[in-house]
Amino acid sequence: MVERTFASDAPSVAAQLFGSGLIGAREGLETGIVVMILVAFLVKSGDRGSLKWVAAGVAAAVAMVAAIFVGVRFGTSTVTGVAAELISGIASLAAVLIVTWMVLWMRTASRSISGDLKAGMAKAVKGGPVAVLALAFLAVGREGVETALLMVGYAENAGGTSWPLIGLLLGIAVAAVLTVLMYFGAVRINFAVFFKYTGVFLIVVAAGILAYGIRALQTADWLPGLTATAFDISSWFTMSSWYGTVAQGIFNFRADPTLFQVLAWAGYLVVVLTLFLRPAAEPSPRTVSDEPPAAPSAAAPHS
């Protein structure tokens, strides 16, 4: 059996709750905005009868996401040795790919997502209940799969505890409350600022998951360089300290990374943060006048 090479001390409860809670709040708000747009469109159009099909689609998407999360986590927790490292590494890299794509996609799609969802729902209503259910399922499922895979990679370093999942659920609960309050106009959130800073946070978290996945594949002997250590600060950087558990619990930091890990981590941050933070192209005047305003601007009005 191959001995796992990751730090043996589980990250602190506070670090796990904070990191996963912020992920849950961000991903939950993205999903909440999608559901809010669909519900507001149906209510305004007087088609309240289709709301039950939206609810069914959302419920089906949540069930699918839960099954993916449980399935992958069960697979990584019931195998040992090289197989465990291999599954952990592949799952982590898959999470990084999907999260990166979704963060960059949301950066450009946020301006048109409201209009796209409303147009899609208008067509779905004409297509019948199955079409409405399918639209809600796909819209929510897309966000949910990202969250499930991200949490699989994030929770791999949690020492087998359930705190990351608890933090995620708390974050989602907060997002659900905020979504309801936004729908009724009780609160307003500057989504441009919120998604910018949480997007940066997710990118940094994804960089840590990437490094974690590389280490796992190195341990499984699928990637070279396991013995080529970039640096070793374990003599003074104590992973069991408060700062060590925070760094490990949120960012998957370790005191003795391999050179491959460091290069991948730094390269990922430079490339993805540059793409994410670069100024967005201004839409054409026709796009501004013809397209409905994007949802992340204020609370969605209700009837």
Segment 254-298, tens digit of pLDDT: 899 999 999 999 999 999 999 999 886 665 544 433 444 444 444
Q: In one letter, which amino acid is 88?
A: S
Whole-number Å distance between alpha carbons of 83 and 55: 39
**Distance from chain centroid for Cα 298:** 22
- Whole-structure pTM value: 0.74
| Dihedral sign of CA atoms 131, 132, 134, 135 in order | positive
Ranges in the chain, pLDDT < 50 = 1-11, 285-303
Nearest to 36 by CA among 58, 65, 18: 58
CB 300 within 8 A of CB 40: yes
pLDDT at 101: 87
Could you give the CA distance from residue 267 to residue 270 in angstroms, rounded to a whole number? 5
Q: How many residues does the chain have?
A: 303
Task: Give the model's pLDDT for residue 163.
Answer: 75
Q: Which of 178, 160, 184, 181 is nearest to 24 (CA)?
A: 178
Residue 118: other Cβ atoms inside 10 A: 18
Provide the token pair at 216.
């796992």
Q: Please state the φ and ψ torsions of residue 26, each to the nearest 5 degrees.
A: -65, -50
Cα 23 to Cα 251: distance, rounded to the nearest angstrom: 12
At 154 the pLDDT is 63
What pLDDT does residue 157 have? 55
Half-sphere exposure (Cβ direction) of 145: Cα atoms closer than 13 Å: 14
pLDDT at 300 (0 to 100): 43
How far is it, in rounded angstroms, from Cα 163 to Cα 144?
19
